[in-house]
Structure 1
Amino acid sequence: MMDDFEKYISDNAEAFNTERADRDNMWLQINTVLEAGKTKVVPLYKRKLFLKIAASLMALMVITFFYTHFKPSIVTENQLASKELLEIDMHYKSLVNYQVALVQKNPKLSTADKNEFLSFMDELDAEYLALKKEMEINLDNEQVLEAIVANYKKRIELIEKLLERLNETKKFEQNYEYTL
């Protein structure tokens, strides 16, 4: 069946090739369709929204530049002050914590005495936290740093006096026991 169809096409090939496409007419129709759908092109720089966005981005870049340009000097000052505070904290906290542990483990003190002592320490802790907040606000203030050191020294002094009194009573009891 296909063979008959192919034979018919090859025999009548000239009859099929009689009509040619009118290319000029086809392109004319394509151009009329394209011209009818032509839109007005507005450049981006003429749009108000584009100008607003561009101005905002430029302002953001300028602010970022100045912020990063001047910020490192502030950061280094903050780091120095906070490093100094950290060193002071580490030194005195270890002393205070050790001495508080000695007081808490002391069998000569009653629970009421220990609680009273710890309440004094809590008051000094509250004062220390207030000083630390002040130090965060005003990092270059030497007076605040000195007050923090004085707070720690006061804590240590209280603990040492308490331990000294306990040791004096212990010596008195030991001397009393050895007397014949």
Structure 2
Amino acid sequence: MSKKIEEYVKENKKAFDIGVPSEDLWCKIEVGLNERESGKKKKRLGLPFWLGAAASLLAGMTFVFMYTYFNRKKEVEIADVNPGYAKKEMKFASLIEEKKDSLQIYAKDNPDLYNKFSNDLLELNKDYINLKMELQHSPDQKLVVQAMVRNLEIQLQIINQQLSVISQVNAYKKENQI
């Protein structure tokens, strides 16, 4: 089929060459192309501008998220304020737990006395928890830490006194039984 087309073109070549475009046609085409190119440039400028603005906004939001995520305040501990007091806190806390266990052993023999002692310790423990919460927002954290350690010292003293009282009560009961 392509041979037929080639033969047709060769035979009718002169008929195709008869019509010649005018000189103004090329000028009109050039002006139309220039208008098209300038229109495309405007569209190209608009898309990257909005795309750049969106990318900048996304990058800014990502930066803010990462900054707040990694720099959020962690809970302030006693060791952050004063490592020496942190050691004391650990020592007192372990002694308090040990002595509470001893109190519970005596609680079987004297449940009323144990309940009174437990209430005193609960009040002191509530104060300790309140001090711990205050530590997070206090401008003078050293003072709060000192109060926390002092609270633990008082708890330990009270437990020691309670154990002493229970020992005396038990000794009195044994003496009176004989």
TM-score normalised over the length of structure 1: 0.57
Cα RMSD over matched residues?
4.3
- Give the match for residue 144 of structure 1: 144
Asked whether the equivalents of residues 79 and 85 of structure 2 are also in contact (C-alpha less than 8 Å), the reply is: no
Matches within 5 A, 1:51-62: none
Identity of aligned residues (%): 17
> Which runs of 5 or more structure 1 residues have no equivalent in the other structure?
69-77
Asked whether the equivalents of residues 81 and 140 of structure 1 are also in contact (C-alpha less than 8 Å), the reply is: no
Asked whether the equivalents of residues 82 and 142 of structure 2 are also in contact (C-alpha less than 8 Å), the reply is: no
- Give the match for residue 109 of structure 1: 110
- Give the match for residue 75 of structure 1: none
- Give the match for residue 121 of structure 1: 121
Asked whether the equivalents of residues 121 and 155 of structure 2 are also in contact (C-alpha less than 8 Å), the reply is: yes
Q: Deviations over 1:17-52 (max 9, x none)?
A: 443696x877544433233443486x99xx9xx8xx
- Give the match for residue 33 of structure 2: 34
Asked whether the equivalents of residues 131 and 144 of structure 1 are also in contact (C-alpha less than 8 Å), the reply is: yes
Displacement of 1:151: 1.0
| Whole-angstrom CA distance in 2 between matches of 1:169 and 1:79 | 40
Displacement of 1:7: 5.2
Displacement of 1:81: 0.7
Asked whether the equivalents of residues 108 and 166 of structure 1 are also in contact (C-alpha less than 8 Å), the reply is: no
Q: Which amino acid is 2:80 matched to?
A: L
| Whole-angstrom CA distance in 2 between matches of 1:115 and 1:155 | 15
Displacement of 1:13: 4.4
| Whole-angstrom CA distance in 2 between matches of 1:152 and 1:95 | 10
TM-score normalised over the length of structure 2: 0.58
- Give the match for residue 87 of structure 1: 87
Displacement of 1:104: 2.2
- Seen in structure 2, the aligned counterparts of structure 1 residues 136 and 85 have a Cα distance that, compared at 3 Å, is farther
- Give the match for residue 74 of structure 1: none
Partner SS, residue 160 of structure 2: helix
Displacement of 1:175: 4.6
Displacement of 1:87: 3.4
Displacement of 1:166: 1.5
| Whole-angstrom CA distance in 2 between matches of 1:113 and 1:143 | 34
Q: Which amino acid is 1:127 matched to?
A: D
Displacement of 1:92: 1.8
Asked whether the equivalents of residues 81 and 139 of structure 1 are also in contact (C-alpha less than 8 Å), the reply is: no
- Seen in structure 2, the aligned counterparts of structure 1 residues 122 and 81 have a Cα distance that, compared at 3 Å, is same
